[in-house]
């Protein structure tokens, strides 16, 4: 791989970096933060299994180890390679999304998985990263002025709308909305004027009643329950109530490690995945949860700073977009367990148990670090335009 | 490159705007966390505790019932149950097959177990069979490794070791019914039993005790994780009775010579009941686990009414045992004890002729003689001079006509008629002939054996209003009884006592006198007519009682006391349809002898105290 990188002279007269130079450039402090957050995750998974590494913590640690290797490898790959791979990866993800429609297994009431025997692949997770890459790739080309022209927005709009439509069909309203928000963020970062957002939002809202007519009754019920969990007091409503009880009863300092009654007596649902933050907040209180949020904020700050320090537009948009993706994961998950927004199946990155999420998140961090390592590489706007 | 700088500026500006937005949103999360974990923390802490902590009630151990010498009459036996936890069993059918080799299981039992297993969660223990024998427990214990998921559980089962002798007054316990629910949460415990009758019911509250609680931690599906704290509660208090179980058993056994009979033995000084028997009896143990249909039908259909406590609920015409009350009413009216009446064998009132039990008559008799020989005509004549209302008032003072407030449920009031009573209930005037009939304890008059025993006690204790009771002590608190006076002049009582002493020396019960020196008894016979003797029967010669159907025969009664020189024990025996008093008197004689031998009142019969027996002047 290193050899390939060394010859990937895609930006003209750029300084070539040796492998050891790149390793020196890797942002080890960010990796330390990632390891710190993940370790908190291992501790919580250990607690979720009532004080046992089995079945979650040990497997999560192995995944994290594998993920770290991938992250480092991704970080060392030249940013221009990622630029080149952006569209292929996007279309691969799109193909997988179509595949789950066709042959996906029914998991958690919706088709989201592809069973690859070794790992259950969730294409919608991949798509979050792939879409950021594709949009960053697209907006790398046009000038600010060109972005202002509406026809230039049709292709990126399609890049967002097609996967969103596929995910909606699964149906996974939460992921679809997250994809839309990621897309919107990239449009915003690319310099699309605010009034255009306003127009799209207004058009979208007026389309809702029309779309409503075309929905089946069970689909309407599902959407209503999603928006208002009180409709289902024994399902989603019960989970949120128990989660709030767990959070609230944690108090300032929490009940202590392995001492969370709500979590360990099974009142808390999905405590190893979506509701793992609740367990942390129950056992370590406001202090513990604030520390974790603080660590995340540091990671976000790194993502933004790395983006702004990149001398190529693709790198900027990639790092900033991936940070938005990461932020949305964290925010939606936490807001959900706190009862601020409806329950959607969004894991807490680096902490929740789950293979695809862990690997895609680490892959994303690999890209961010790659942006940092290759921050001084300039890439011509027109370099790949003909390829699309 | 200028264009790239434009883009750089734009993206920087917008990235900072986005960053600020993110910070703001993180701020919202922080605010929400603060609200949940600090502001509302106490509220959620309570909810979390409610989630995880369950209160379980622990049934208190029921108090014992013991007799006056602390012999247990109602105890708690250990009830061994075999309990199954489905999730540990494996193959349910296979386990039941293996279990049935040790403990017999009917098809109905199997169905119940399978049904319960289906209905409840897999970790909830299900009772497979209870009331195991020791042998079964031991065998199950040995084979425990082959029977995973089964365990032996110990509960309490009420047991009455004296069975039939105690059924009527100790009562029994049974399942809690809808009406029994008083708000005490312990009553809702499955399998909880409460007193349904007798002393078990009378002292239910004391015997029951208060429930303990066990705080357990449960998980979301209700499985108990661990016990947090335990309060054993207060076991029920023991209840000590005045009954002497030895005497009680003797009395119960003695009554078995008759079809249906009852007897009461009292302490005349303080009203303590030493024996209270009703024959036939029933085994209260039948009721503790729920009586089966066959036994229930047998007890209910029995013509001799084994379920009725006839000593307190049987209401009989007192017959001649009532005559002392007429005598006392007459004495209080100023009639002299030496007032004599000639008995020709009958008395005519208007167009009606009232017969004496002795066809040929008694000749001249004074009051003592009239009691001794139980002359009907003497009391016919006397009652006409006194009047029914005075007689009724006297009877009331001796405990007749209303409940005597025995500390036990099920007592009946009997009946003591007056002029007003008849007008109120029948709407007709009192007839003089009715007074005459009442004077010999017939007609409307009825009384329970208990009332007659109380009457006898009050006659021989100097007119003290003793109240009969079965409770000696509840827990540590004793019975307080300050008996008032019923206000009868002692000379009047002396006349009646002399008459009753005469009954057992030369009178109607002379041949049944106790032959043990110093233990002699006094008393009064009574034979109460159930069916009117028609003119035709009288003309044809009265049919012998033995030849009548049981239901038509006379009741035989006897009230007595002993020893005559210092009366301490009063006794009443009623033999339902026994034919005559001559069946009741020997029973009473035996009972009073046995009572004195056992001396439940704590009297030591010393040789010195055995003086000459006061004999009555004829």
A positions 247-306 inside 8 Å of B (CB) = 247-252, 261-262, 264-267, 281, 285-286, 289-290, 293, 296-297, 300-301, 304
Round to whole Å and give the CA distance between B393 and B386: 11
B511 and B592 assigned to the same domain: yes
Residue B45 within any structural domain of the chain: no
Whether the predicted pLDDT of B327 surpasses 60:
yes
The pLDDT value recorded for residue B532 is: 64
Round to whole Å and give the CA distance between B408 and B273: 12
> Domains in chain B: how many in total?
2
User: pLDDT tens, B41-65?
Assistant: 999 999 888 888 877 778 888 889 9
B349 and B447 assigned to the same domain: yes
DSSP run (H or E) holding A113: strand A110-115
* Residues 6 or more apart in contact with residue B547 via CB below 8 angstroms: none
The pLDDT value recorded for residue B605 is: 41
Q: Are A381 and B4 inside 8 Å of each other by CB?
A: yes
Whether the predicted pLDDT of A3 surpasses 50:
no
Whether the predicted pLDDT of B343 surpasses 50:
yes
B241, B256, B275: which is the final residue of a domain?
B241
Round to whole Å and give the CA distance between A222 and A212: 12
User: pLDDT tens, A106-137?
Assistant: 544 445 666 665 566 788 889 999 999 999 99
The pLDDT value recorded for residue B612 is: 41
B136 and B167 assigned to the same domain: yes
CA A166 to chain centre: 17
Whether the predicted pLDDT of B116 surpasses 90:
no
User: pLDDT tens, B434-444?
Assistant: 888 888 888 88
B354 and B497 assigned to the same domain: yes
Q: How many CB pairs under 8 A join A and B?
A: 141
Q: What's the domain range around B139?
A: 56-241
The pLDDT value recorded for residue B407 is: 86
Whether the predicted pLDDT of A5 surpasses 60:
no
The pLDDT value recorded for residue A327 is: 96
B209 and B267 assigned to the same domain: no
Residue B615 within any structural domain of the chain: no
B131 and B262 assigned to the same domain: no
Tokens linked to A83: 């630029």
Is B229 designated active site?
A: no
Least Cα distance to A183 among A203, A163, A213, A202 occurs for A163
Q: What angle do CA A309, A314, A317 make, to 5 degrees?
A: 70
Q: What is the CATH number of the domain that holds B125?
A: 3.90.1310.10
Given 3-state DSSP classes, what are the helix, strand and coil percentages for chain B, each rounded to the nearest 5?
40, 20, 35
The pLDDT value recorded for residue A49 is: 92
Whether the predicted pLDDT of A308 surpasses 60:
yes
* Residues 6 or more apart in contact with residue A244 via CB below 8 angstroms: A338, A339, B36, B44
B429 and B280 assigned to the same domain: yes
For the segment A206-212, the average pLDDT, to the nearest whole number, is: 85
For the segment B266-290, the average pLDDT, to the nearest whole number, is: 87
Residue B343 within any structural domain of the chain: yes
- B6 interfacial to chain A (CB closer than 8 Å): yes
Q: What is the CATH number of the domain that holds B325?
A: 3.40.710.10
- B3 interfacial to chain A (CB closer than 8 Å): yes
B176 and B206 assigned to the same domain: yes
Round to whole Å and give the CA distance between B21 and A208: 27
**CA-derived radius of gyration, chain B:** 36
B551 and B403 assigned to the same domain: yes
For the segment B277-283, the average pLDDT, to the nearest whole number, is: 88
Residue B607's pLDDT band (cuts 50, 70, 90): very low
Whether the predicted pLDDT of B174 surpasses 90:
no
B141 and B158 assigned to the same domain: yes
B241, B268, B303: which is the final residue of a domain?
B241
- Residue A247: its chain B contacts at CB < 8 A? 33, 36-37, 44
Among A185, A191, A252, the residue with its CB nearest the CB of B38 is A252
B537 and B551 assigned to the same domain: yes
Q: Is the dihedral of CA B100, B104, B110, B113 positive or negative?
A: negative
The pLDDT value recorded for residue B616 is: 38
Write the secondary structure of A120-138 as one string of H (helix), E (strand) and C (coil).
EECHHHHHHHHHHHHHHHH
- B33 interfacial to chain A (CB closer than 8 Å): yes
Whether the predicted pLDDT of B189 surpasses 80:
no
For the segment B484-509, the average pLDDT, to the nearest whole number, is: 86
B209, B241, B273: which is the final residue of a domain?
B241
Whether the predicted pLDDT of B34 surpasses 70:
yes
- Residue A246: its chain B contacts at CB < 8 A? 44, 48
Residue B218 within any structural domain of the chain: yes
Is the pTM here over 0.90, yes or no? Answer: no
Residue B88's pLDDT band (cuts 50, 70, 90): confident
B155 and B191 assigned to the same domain: yes
Residue B325 within any structural domain of the chain: yes
**ipTM of this predicted complex?**
0.89
Residue B16 within any structural domain of the chain: no
Q: What is the DSSP annotation of B17-71?
A: HHHHHHHHHHHHHHHHHHIIIIISHHHHHHHHHHHHEEEEEEPPPPPPEE-TT--
Longest dimension (CA), chain B: 156
Residue B613 within any structural domain of the chain: no
Residue B23 within any structural domain of the chain: no
Q: What is the DSSP annotation of B439-469?
A: HTT-TT-BB-HHHHHHHHHHHHTTSB----B
């Amino acid at each position: 791989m290193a050899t390939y990188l060394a010859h990937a002279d895609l930006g003209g007269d750029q300084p070539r970096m040796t492998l050891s130079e790149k390793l020196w450039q890797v942002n080890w402090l960010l990796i330390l933060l990632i390891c710190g957050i993940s370790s908190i995750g291992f501790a919580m998974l250990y607690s979720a299994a009532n004080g046992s590494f089995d079945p979650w913590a040990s497997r999560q640690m192995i995944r994290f180890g594998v993920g770290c290797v991938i992250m480092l490898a991704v970080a060392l790959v030249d940013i221009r390679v990622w630029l080149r791979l952006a569209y292929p990866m996007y279309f691969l993800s799109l193909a997988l999304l179509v595949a789950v429609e066709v042959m996906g297994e029914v998991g958690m009431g919706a088709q989201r998985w592809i069973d690859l025997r070794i790992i259950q692949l969730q294409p919608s997770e991949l798509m979050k990263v792939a879409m950021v890459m594709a949009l960053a790739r697209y907006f790398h080309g046009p000038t600010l002025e060109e972005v202002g022209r509406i026809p230039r927005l049709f292709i990126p709009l399609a890049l967002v709308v097609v996967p969103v439509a596929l995910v909606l069909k699964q149906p996974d309203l939460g992921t679809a909305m997250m994809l839309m928000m990621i897309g919107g963020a990239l449009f915003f970062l690319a310099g699309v004027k605010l009034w255009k957002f306003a127009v799209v939002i207004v058009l979208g809202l007026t389309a809702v009643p029309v779309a409503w007519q075309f929905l089946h009754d069970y689909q309407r019920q599902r959407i209503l329950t999603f928006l208002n969990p009180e409709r289902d007091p024994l399902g989603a409503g019960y989970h949120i109530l128990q989660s709030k009880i767990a959070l609230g009863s944690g108090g300032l300092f929490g009940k202590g490690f392995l001492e969370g009654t709500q979590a360990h007596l099974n009142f808390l649902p999905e405590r190893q995945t979506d509701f793992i933050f609740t367990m942390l907040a129950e056992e370590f209180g406001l202090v513990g949860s604030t520390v974790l949020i603080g660590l995340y904020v540091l990671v976000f700050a790194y993502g933004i700073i790395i983006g702004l320090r990149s001398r190529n537009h693709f790198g900027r948009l990639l790092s900033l977009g991936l940070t938005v993706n990461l932020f949305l994961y964290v925010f939606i998950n936490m807001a959900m367990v706190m009862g601020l927004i409806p329950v959607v199946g969004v894991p807490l990155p680096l902490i929740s148990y789950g293979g695809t999420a862990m690997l895609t998140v680490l892959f994303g961090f690999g890209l961010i670090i790659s942006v940092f390592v290759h921050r001084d590489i300039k890439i011509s706007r027109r370099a790949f335009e003909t390829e699309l | 490159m200028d264009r790239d700088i434009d883009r750089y500026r734009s993206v920087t500006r917008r990235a900072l705007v986005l960053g600020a937005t993110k910070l703001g949103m993180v701020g919202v999360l922080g605010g929400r966390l603060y609200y949940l974990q600090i502001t509302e923390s106490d509220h959620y802490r309570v909810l979390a505790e409610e989630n995880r902590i369950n209160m379980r009630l622990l049934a208190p151990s029921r108090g014992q019932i013991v007799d006056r010498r602390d012999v247990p009459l109602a105890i708690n036996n250990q009830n061994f149950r075999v309990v199954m936890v489905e999730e540990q069993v494996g193959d349910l059918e296979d386990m039941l097959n293996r279990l049935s080799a040790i403990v017999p299981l009917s098809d109905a039992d199997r169905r119940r177990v399978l049904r319960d297993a289906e209905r409840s969660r897999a970790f909830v223990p299900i009772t497979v069979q209870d009331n195991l024998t020791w042998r079964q427990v031991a065998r199950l214990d040995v084979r425990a490794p082959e029977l995973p998921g089964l365990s032996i559980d110990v509960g309490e089962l009420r047991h009455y070791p004296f069975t039939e002798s105690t059924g009527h007054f100790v009562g029994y316990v049974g399942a809690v019914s809808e009406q029994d629910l008083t708000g005490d949460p312990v009553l809702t415990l499955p399998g909880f039993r409460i007193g349904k009758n007798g002393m078990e019911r009378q002292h239910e509250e004391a015997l029951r005790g208060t429930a303990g609680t066990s705080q357990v931690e449960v998980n979301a599906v209700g499985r108990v994780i661990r016990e947090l704290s335990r309060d054993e509660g207060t076991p029920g208090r023991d209840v000590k009775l005045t009954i002497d179980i030895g005497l009680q058993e003797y009395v119960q056994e003695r009554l078995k010579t008759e079809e249906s009979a009852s007897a009461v033995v009292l302490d005349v000084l303080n009203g303590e009941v030493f024996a209270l028997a009703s024959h036939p009896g029933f085994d209260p143990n039948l009721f503790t686990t729920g009586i089966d249909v066959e036994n229930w039908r047998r007890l209910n259909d029995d013509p001799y009414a084994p379920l009725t406590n006839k000593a307190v609920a049987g209401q009989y015409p007192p017959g001649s045992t009532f005559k002392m009350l007429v005598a006392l009413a007459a004495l209080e009216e100023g009639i002299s004890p030496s007032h004599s009446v000639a008995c020709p064998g009958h008395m005519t009132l208007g167009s009606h002729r009232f017969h004496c039990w002795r066809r040929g008559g008694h000749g001249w008799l004074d009051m003592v003689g009239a009691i001794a020989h139980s002359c009907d005509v003497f009391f016919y004549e006397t009652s006409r001079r006194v009047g029914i209302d005075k007689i009724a008032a006297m009877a009331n003072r001796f405990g007749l006509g209303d409940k005597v407030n025995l500390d036990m449920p099920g007592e009946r009031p009997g009946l003591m008629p007056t002029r007003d009573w008849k007008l109120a209930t029948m709407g007709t005037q009192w007839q003089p002939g009715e007074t005459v009939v009442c004077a010999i304890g017939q007609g409307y008059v009825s009384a329970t054996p208990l009332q007659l025993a109380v009457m006898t006690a009050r006659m021989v204790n100097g007119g003290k209003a003793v109240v009969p009771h079965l409770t000696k002590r509840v827990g540590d608190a004793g019975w307080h009884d300050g008996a008032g006076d019923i206000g009868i002049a002692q000379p009047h009582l002396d006349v009646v006592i002399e008459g009753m002493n005469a009954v057992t020396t030369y009178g109607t019960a002379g041949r049944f006198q106790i032959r043990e020196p110093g233990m002699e008894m006094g008393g009064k016979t009574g034979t109460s007519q159930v069916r009117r003797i028609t003119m035709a029967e009288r003309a044809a010669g009265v049919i012998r009682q033995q030849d009548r159907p049981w239901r038509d025969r006379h009741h035989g009664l006897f009230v007595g006391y002993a020893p005559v020189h210092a009366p301490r024990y009063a006794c009443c025996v009623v033999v339902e349809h026994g034919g005559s008093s001559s069946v009741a008197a020997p029973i009473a004689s035996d009972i009073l002898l046995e009572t004195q031998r056992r001396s439940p009142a704590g009297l030591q019969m010393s040789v010195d105290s055995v003086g000459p027996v006061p004999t009555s002047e004829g």
